[in-house]
Amino acid sequence: PPAFQPYRTSYHFQPPKNWINDPNGPMIYKGVYHLLYQYNPKGAVWGNIVWAHSTSTDLVNWTPHVPAIYPSQPSDINGCWSGSTTILPSGEPIILYTGVNPQNQQVQNLATPKNLSDPYLTEWVKSAKNPLMAPTIANQINASSFRDPTTAWLGPDRIWRVLIGSKRNRRGLAILYRSKDFVHWTKSQHPLHSATDTGMWECPDFFPVRINANIGVDTSVIGPHVKHVLKLSLDDTKHDYYTIGTYNLNKDIYVPDKGQVDSDSGLRYDYGKFYASKTFFDSAKNRRILWGWINESSSVEDDIKKGWSGVMAIPRSIWLDKSGKQLVQWPIRELERLRENQVNLPNQVLKGGLALEVSGVTSAQADVEISFSTIELQNAEKLDPSWTNPQALCSKKGASVKGRLGPFGLLALASKGLQERTAVFFRIFKGQDKYVVLMCSDQSRSSLNNGNDKTTYGAFLDVNPSSEELSLRSLIDHSIVESFGGEGKACITARVYPTLAIQNEAHLHVFNNGTENVQITRFSAWSMKKAIIT
Ligand code: DQQ
């Protein structure tokens, strides 16, 4: 890789070079966090996939190990694709992953640690019984769409269950398998869940969340105090969608409370770039942690030139919102240990049309928290009933389009004369019977290089601006702006490649491009230290 690397991140996980994609089998074992992930040891594009492996004691600083799983037997000779770890009741971790066999069929394999007393679990042994699950004529499984086993869960009937992503024609499927011993698996007649016309379901994730408590629970927990979440990564749209619903263990089916995984109005973990994510239960801190892959928005040629592609999002704690209608995500607390040189702004009115530069922060590598309150809500622009797609609305009304209540927010990775800037902001509209808050991340002027994908992203945010403040946190890391609106109710992650606003030439502004004044009720920004990721 070249020496000049303005887009490498300082506190988001990435290996020194080459291609990465999905996080695989995250876990905590003997106090050590493990991140395994899809990796091409030979280049900056997808291919030659192995499971690379790093460990950490704080989810921030990472030490690499040799690849944990790589092609070595007929059942995975053409690739070791995504999968998950399950911690058995004995405390032993066990991996299920997808292998691609000599016929290019997708099959499911098992691997166990060679030495359980090694907390780093550097060596893994594949089962002689692999593959444990395979497409056959009898089971009618589509051999090129059968992959990404979930963490398994154990029912009160002592039977293990696991999901495999699949499709039949255009119907997406979460195929269910059951086992008494984790080795012999039988396909259930019915999928746990399916939906028409969604295409392939990659990387399913299925887990319980506590009602009315923001603590995580183990994947096998069931009962009246939990709801269940089913997440799917739609190959068609490359977004991660989830629903919240009820898991009926007797029938082994999952019924979403409301909504579909496939529709554009479906709930997403992140309304920007974030894919093939996976959660695990952190038994040391009783929380559920979400890992997601953030792909590049640059051209393949640029990726090859810089020698790498892909980073991981900051691990996020994830729990059920008190409304019960959506999940909430927040960067793991450990990240705050990288904060230094805090800069605060006093409470103040930010007049319509004004911007305020924040000095004293390393703006290319920062953590920023801001809250707004709005005074003249009744002056909000009316929401046209046809504006149902938040991304389309944010594209139409970008940061430079003047409004009434908004756009107001942050200009991140801004160049001196503002030729380049990534704008993360809110707009408030007057809807039918309530105010509607739109959160946007506008990349249209993020770089003078037009070879990048500069799509603008957007989400509606379930916050009531007449009684609540509007908060925004943005993690800025050279080529990433990872934003959390409404205390984690909507997340938008963007990849940007400024040509001027790099390193010490990057600036940070608070702006209000609406006609109405807004009040800044809180502002803190920190320079971020570099994490040790070797
Ligand atoms: N990536 C893996 C597959 C998975 C896809 C291959 C999702 O197992 O379906 O690298 O990004």
331, 349, 377 — which closes off a domain?
331
Run of H or E including 391: helix 390-396
Same domain, yes or no: 366 and 407: yes
Same domain, yes or no: 161 and 255: yes
Question: Is residue 431 pLDDT above 70, yes or no?
Answer: yes
273-299 per-position pLDDT tens digit: 999 999 999 999 999 999 999 999 999
Q: Is residue 122 part of a domain?
A: yes
Residue 276 Cβ contacting ligand 1 at under 6 Å: yes
The residue-averaged pLDDT of 247-258 equals: 95
The residue-averaged pLDDT of 235-253 equals: 96
- The C-alpha R_g of the chain, in whole angstroms, comes to 23
**Catalytic site residue from 22, 205, 235, 240:** 22
Domain total for the chain? 2
pLDDT for 260 equals: 74
pLDDT for 266 equals: 84
Same domain, yes or no: 86 and 222: yes
Distance of CA 154 from the midpoint of ligand 1 (Å): 25
359-370 per-position pLDDT tens digit: 999 999 999 999
297, 316, 331 — which closes off a domain?
331
Residues forming beta bridges with residue 426, ordered by sequence position? 408, 439
ipTM of the prediction = 0.99
pLDDT for 119 equals: 98
Same domain, yes or no: 305 and 428: no
Distance of CA 261 from the midpoint of ligand 1 (Å): 19
Q: What range does the domain containing 512 cover?
A: 338-528
* Alpha carbons 399 and 518: distance in angstroms, whole number: 16
Q: Is residue 99 part of a domain?
A: yes
The residue-averaged pLDDT of 15-42 equals: 98
Residue 282 Cβ contacting ligand 1 at under 6 Å: no
| 232: CATH | 2.115.10.20
Same domain, yes or no: 234 and 363: no
Distance of CA 22 from the midpoint of ligand 1 (Å): 6
The residue-averaged pLDDT of 225-251 equals: 96
pLDDT for 375 equals: 80
pLDDT for 534 equals: 87
* Alpha carbons 70 and 77: distance in angstroms, whole number: 8
Same domain, yes or no: 371 and 288: no
Q: Locate the ligand 1 atom nearest the alpha carbon of residue 81 and give its number.
A: 8
Ligand 1 pocket test target in 48, 78, 81, 277 with most atoms within 8 Å of CB: 81
pLDDT for 263 equals: 64
Cα–Cα nearest to 456, from 272, 331, 295: 272
Averaged confidence pLDDT in the chain: 97
Q: Is residue 2 part of a domain?
A: no
Q: Is residue 241 part of a domain?
A: yes
| 447: CATH | 2.60.120.560
Tokens of 480: 């990433």
pLDDT for 510 equals: 98
Q: Locate the ligand 1 atom nearest the alpha carbon of residue 22 and give its number.
A: 11
Same domain, yes or no: 60 and 114: yes
Q: Is residue 491 part of a domain?
A: yes
CB 345 within 8 A of CB 360: no
Same domain, yes or no: 172 and 58: yes
Same domain, yes or no: 355 and 467: yes
CA atoms within 13 A on the CB side of 298: 27
pLDDT band at 264 (very low <50, low <70, confident <90, very high): low
Q: Locate the ligand 1 atom nearest the alpha carbon of residue 46 and give its number.
A: 10
Which is more confident, 85 or 1?
A: 85
Q: Is residue 533 part of a domain?
A: no
Of all residues in the chain, what percent carry a pLDDT higher than 90? 97
Question: Is residue 145 pLDDT above 70, yes or no?
Answer: yes
pLDDT band at 1 (very low <50, low <70, confident <90, very high): confident
Q: Is residue 7 part of a domain?
A: no
Same domain, yes or no: 322 and 459: no
pLDDT for 261 equals: 74
Tokens of 193: 């869940």
269, 298, 331 — which closes off a domain?
331
The residue-averaged pLDDT of 486-506 equals: 98
Ligand 1 pocket test target in 18, 21, 233 with most atoms within 8 Å of CB: 21
Catalytic annotation on 22?
yes
Residue 21 Cβ contacting ligand 1 at under 6 Å: yes
Distance of CA 241 from the midpoint of ligand 1 (Å): 16
Residues forming beta bridges with residue 55, ordered by sequence position? 34, 63
Same domain, yes or no: 280 and 348: no
Same domain, yes or no: 192 and 88: yes
* Alpha carbons 70 and 513: distance in angstroms, whole number: 52
